[in-house]
Amino acid sequence: MPAEPSSVNLEEWFDRLEDSGYRLTKPLRVVAEVMAKNSYCTLSPTEVYDLGREHYPKLGLVTVYRTLEKLEEVGVIQRVHQAGGCNSYIAAPSGHQHLLICRNCGRVEYFQGIDLTDLVSRVEAKSYYSIQDHWLQLIGLYKSCQ
């Protein structure tokens, strides 16, 4: 059931950004590439900044923040919530998948095949809430971290 991190189609990311009216600039490309190449692990803005500067030293940290925001808005990356902090991002898998994260190294796998819609509507029927979203995440240790 766990799946290899879906290899990212960078061109599709760029298409989505353009469709949303964003301009394809050099810094944006650099940040997107960093996120795409590291689609198997979580990265904080500072880590993205450092990796990006290896290819494009002029890159500014402010731009990294702004670009991550755009990438999240168009849905190609997603924020990851962990006990140690909630400022990391990772390439978003296609479709609705759930995260399996290593508490130690931040490595990620996805798993799918879990249908929670049934559960969700049961809970909804018995509560005063209209449920819009759900969030399932498994936390553990990757083999080399055990």
Partner DNA sequence: CGTACAATGAAAACGATTTTCAGTTTCTGT
Partner DNA sequence: ACAGAAACTGAAAATCGTTTTCATTGTACG
Nearest CA among 143, 123, 145 for reference residue 134: 123
How is residue 55 written in tokens? 């290819």
Burial of 78 by CB count in 10 Å (0-12 exposed, 13-18 middle, 19+ buried)? middle
Answer yes or no whether residue 104 interacts with a second copy by CB under 8 A: no
Nearer to DNA, 63 or 97 (CB): 63
Stretch that binds a second copy, among 15-23, 24-32, 63-71, 115-123 (CB under 8 A): 115-123
Separation between Cα atoms, residue 92 and residue 52, nearest integer Å = 19
Stretch that binds DNA, among 18-26, 92-100, 105-113, 115-123 (CB under 7 A): 18-26
How is residue 75 written in tokens? 């849905």
Stretch that binds a second copy, among 27-35, 42-50, 58-66, 83-91 (CB under 8 A): 83-91
Answer yes or no whether residue 18 interacts with DNA by CB under 7 A: yes
Answer yes or no whether residue 137 interacts with a second copy by CB under 8 A: yes
Q: Which of 1, 7, 9, 25 binds DNA (CB under 7 A)?
A: 25
Separation between Cα atoms, residue 100 and residue 48, nearest integer Å = 21
Separation between Cα atoms, residue 125 and residue 144, nearest integer Å = 43
Binding site residues, a second copy, CB under 8 A: 1-2, 79, 81, 83, 85-86, 100, 102-103, 109, 111, 114, 119-120, 122-124, 126-143, 146
